[in-house]
Homo-oligomer: A and B are copies of this chain.
Amino acid sequence: MTFRNGLEALILASLREGPLHGYAIAQRIRSGSREVLRFGEGQIYPALHRLEEEGLVSTEWETQEGRPARRVYSLTPEGLGRLERQVREWSRFSEAVSALLGSGRGDAKTCREGLGHG
């Protein structure tokens, strides 16, 4: 049941506080969700490449002496805009599901703390 492009939204959100490389993004999603969300690297890297193609993240290679270079991703202004839209969409979506799944009273006052919306 679909909150579309959810992984992209999560990646973009991981980058909001600063640049990260792919492996670290995967770990942040795991630990930030207390292990509830567990995306493999096989999902993260292709998503990152799509995001780059769309101009939502930019990358540079961080070279390190002795260790292999790694690719560091940053949010572009467009990426930030997309993230904000995705956050609003998540808000709509999760309120809708909560209203239906909620104990039947269906107040839709459900989820107004964590995410500023509309």
Contacts and interface: CB of A to CB of B under 8 A. Distances in A.
A32 to B, nearest CB: 5
A48 interface: no
Identical chains in the assembly: 2
Contact of A98 (B7, B16, B92, B114): B114
A46 interface: no
B116 A103 contact: yes
Interface size bucket, A side?
A: 35 or more
A44 to B, nearest CB: 12
Interface string A1-12: 111011101100
A114 B90 contact: no
B1 A97 contact: no
